[in-house]
A and B are shown apart, each in its own frame.
Chain A
């Protein structure tokens, strides 16, 4: 693990010297934070029409009022709680967007800069190299999502109805941000790093890694249409699946990482 820490330190130092790489992630984070505030706070404020009086939210209101967590909120607060909880899943995309370009360049970038060969000539193993590369992209992504979540919480506490912010401390919300989010990011980044080991163009890696956005988007839409309710149990189940998927991806990544091809065939 000492070598992982050494290479991870390099990855983070490299990112610190190139903060512009996080602009897409910051944009994703800002959009993820802003959207529910626009829907739940800004539009009702501008139009003067309460969310609770809209027929669009009636089903959702009934559903949410059934839950002990939101039972004590007034109707407008319950709908706000629902919106802020549902949009949490968008925050999961923030680290994915943030770290994707980093992960996509993980191996290709080293090869293009001709820094890979001296690195491979050290005692570092493929496993250690890939772990460091994935963590190098994941750690800043998670840091970013924590900052976004803190801003989200602050915004909800300031602008939403009293008590709504408490619903963001419920297990479902916390599991989404601190378990599902990192695991989904990890899967995306591992995919990107795996592809980065096999292609000589970072864009291909980025595109494949971005595939993880698809199931997350499906989850978001399914939740909006009430086809799926992301309860704590569902979040835990998806997380367990992602954990197994990640272990498999690491094993595949090690198999796919072909030092020979990278050194001899890539130009």
Chain B
């Protein structure tokens, strides 16, 4: 399984800097989300990772081999790149579209690989339709099938669920999770924060340069801290006093306690134990997590200041 390393990637277009000193590593079995507003340099970064455009500075390497014009064609064999537009040949059938790509990737039995991809993406019944006849969602599905035909170890997806209906979007998400299960390295560039929250192991926020890079939970904690919410069967105020010696910030609101903690998973069992021992009726316990959208907006806001 391959590891992709972006090291100090920089890209200038004349005087404009599109990507500035971006470094990260994409490991097998990981879903890595690249977030950023329009024009933040996400597509440029993806193009550099694929070797479609050269960086002005820095480098991309796959398993230690640097992406270059000479190595590019070979290294691209390890990558599946879903571009922003499906980019299907409209006058060709779905099957013909996939067959061309299977052959371009040098797959030994292209017909069988295409059959499998058609089956996997549930588009066998549309294989003889021209691409122009397909809906946007179906085109995206065919484009995804094309991206994964050669079973790439590194999968780069630019807006994979953009414009898809909820059911198709869920199918795509399931597929991405399956790719992680198969130990492939997956990078998603997206605006869909809900999607990132559900799937990503790590998140990079890009605004020309890397604004933040961490796990979603770590980013949340860094910006908002972590809190545990405990709903009780009785007034919460008297139990708040019990917890104050151990926790700096304990708030009571009617029947709910909100406690600031360092590590939700580590301290929650202890909190519940103390409350139960003190005779509290614990109705529910949950981690109070700021939505990723708030994390993202806060990060960009801080970057703008």
A14 in the interface (beta carbon within 8 A):
yes
Contact at B83–A121, with CB atoms within 8 Å? Answer: yes
Number of A-B pairs, beta carbon distance below 8 Å: 82
Question: How far does the Cβ of A11 sit from chain B's closest Cβ, in whole Å?
Answer: 10
Question: How far does the Cβ of A238 sit from chain B's closest Cβ, in whole Å?
Answer: 36
What is the size category of the interface that chain B forms with chain A? Answer: 20 to 34
Contact at A123–B77, with CB atoms within 8 Å? Answer: yes
Assess A259 versus B106: contact at CB under 8 Å? Given A114-B85, A115-B87.
Answer: no
Contact at B91–A14, with CB atoms within 8 Å? Answer: yes
Chain B residues, Cβ within 8 Å of A119: 87, 104
| Chain B binder among A2-10, A41-49, A212-220 | A2-10
Contact at B52–A7, with CB atoms within 8 Å? Answer: no
B121 in the interface (beta carbon within 8 A):
no
Chain A residues, Cβ within 8 Å of B105: 122-123
Question: How far does the Cβ of B5 sit from chain A's closest Cβ, in whole Å?
Answer: 19
Chain B residues, Cβ within 8 Å of A115: 87-89
| Alpha-carbon separation in the docked complex, A118 to B100 (Å) | 12
Chain A residues, Cβ within 8 Å of B54: 260
B103 in the interface (beta carbon within 8 A):
yes
A228 in the interface (beta carbon within 8 A):
no
Question: How far does the Cβ of B76 sit from chain A's closest Cβ, in whole Å?
Answer: 5
Interface residues of B in 114-162 (CB under 8 A from A): 130, 143, 146
Residue count of chain A within 8 Å CB distance of chain B: 28
Instruction: Identify 8 new A-B residue pairs, CB closer than 8 A, beyond the known A115-B89, A123-B105.
Output: A3-B103, A3-B104, A7-B104, A14-B91, A113-B90, A114-B87, A123-B77, A260-B53
Taking CB as reference atom, which chain B residue is nearest A9?
Answer: B100
Contact indicator per residue, chain A 116-156, by CB within 8 Å of chain B (1) or not (0): 11111111110000000000000000000000000000000
A13 in the interface (beta carbon within 8 A):
yes
| Alpha-carbon separation in the docked complex, A113 to B53 (Å) | 20
Assess A17 versus B79: contact at CB under 8 Å? Given A259-B52, A260-B54, A263-B52.
Answer: no
Query: Pick the contact of B73 from A18, A124, A260, A263 — CB < 8 Å?
Result: A124
Assess A124 versus B104: contact at CB under 8 Å? Given A259-B52, A263-B47.
Answer: yes
Contact at A6–B85, with CB atoms within 8 Å? Answer: no
Taking CB as reference atom, which chain B residue is nearest A258?
Answer: B53
B50 in the interface (beta carbon within 8 A):
yes
Contact at A122–B101, with CB atoms within 8 Å? Answer: yes
Closest 9 CB pairs of A and B: A6-B103, A114-B85, A121-B81, A17-B91, A118-B87, A123-B73, A10-B100, A122-B104, A115-B87
A264 in the interface (beta carbon within 8 A):
yes
| Alpha-carbon separation in the docked complex, A183 to B96 (Å) | 31
- 11 A-B residue pairs with CB within 8 Å: A2-B106, A5-B103, A10-B92, A13-B92, A14-B92, A113-B90, A114-B85, A118-B101, A121-B79, A259-B53, A264-B44
| Alpha-carbon separation in the docked complex, A119 to B100 (Å) | 10
